[in-house]
Amino acid sequence: MAANLDSVFSALADPTRRTILAMLLEDDMAVTDVAQPFQMSLTAISKHLGILAEAGLISRERRGRVIWCKLEPDAMRNASVWMQGFGQFEPIDLDAFERFLEDELAEEDTGTETQS
């Protein structure tokens, strides 16, 4: 479980991957649709998707010539259970998590997020 948690937290550390997860909260998406809002190559997006898939946060399925991505919340639940062991964290409320991600994306769109 520790190795899986490492990959989940590592995947969540990147803002592009968090944005992708927020997009997949709405519905399954084709890889090309996931890549559309980003100013990076399809290869770069595919690498991000690979990291999310290895962490178990998404699954990918080929339908004809199109690869579809789907959010898999179980990996996030495992991370939540691990954090609960410290007694300082509440269980992850996926609705609240969705609102958080939407707020983060809104901040990025308005440019209020500071660049590091």
What does the pLDDT look like over 39-82, one tens digit per residue? Answer: 999 999 999 999 999 999 999 999 999 999 999 988 888 888 88
pLDDT score of 24 more than 80: yes
24: left (phi over 0), alpha (psi -120 to 50) or beta: alpha
Distance CA 93, CA 45 (A): 27
What is the reported pLDDT for 77?
85
pTM: 0.71
Domains in the chain: boundaries: 2-97
Which tokens hold the place of 95?
């609705």
Fold entry, domain 2-97: Arc Repressor Mutant, subunit A (1.10.10)
